[in-house]
Chains A and B, each alone.
Chain A
Amino acid sequence: DIQMTQSPSSLSASVGDRVTITCRTSQYISNYLDWYQQQPGKAPNLLIFAASSLQSGVPSRFSGSGSGTDFTLTISSLQPEDFATYYCQQSYSTPWTFGQGTKVEIK
Chain B
Amino acid sequence: QVQLVQSGAGVKKPGASVKVSCKASGYSFTGYDINWVRQAPGQGLEWMGWMSPNSGNTDYAQKFQGRVTLTRNSSISTAYMELSSLRSEDTAVYYCARWAVVSDALDIWGQGTMVTVSS
Contact = CB atoms under 8 A, between A and B. Distances in A.
Contact of A87 (B44, B95, B110): B44
A101 B103 contact: no
A49 B45 contact: no
Given A43-B111, A43-B112, A87 B106 contact: no
A53 B102 CA distance: 11
Nearest to B95: A43
A53 B103 contact: yes
Interface in A45-93: 45-46, 49-50, 53, 55, 87, 89, 91
A96 interface: yes
Contacts of A43: 95, 97, 109-112
A46 B95 CA distance: 14
A16 interface: no
A8 interface: no
What is the size category of the interface that chain B forms with chain A?
A: 20 to 34
A96 B35 CA distance: 10
Contacts of A100: 44
B107 A46 contact: yes
Nearest to A43: B109
B106 A94 contact: no
Interface string B65-109: 000000000000000000000000000000101001001111101
B106 A46 contact: yes
Contact of A95 (B62, B100, B109, B110): B62
A91 B105 contact: yes
A11 B106 CA distance: 25
Contacts of B59: 94
17 contacts: A34-B104, A34-B106, A43-B112, A44-B37, A46-B103, A46-B105, A49-B104, A49-B105, A50-B103, A89-B105, A94-B59, A96-B35, A96-B47, A98-B45, A98-B46, A98-B47, A99-B44
Interface of B: 35, 37, 44-47, 50, 59, 61-62, 95, 97, 100, 103-107, 109-112
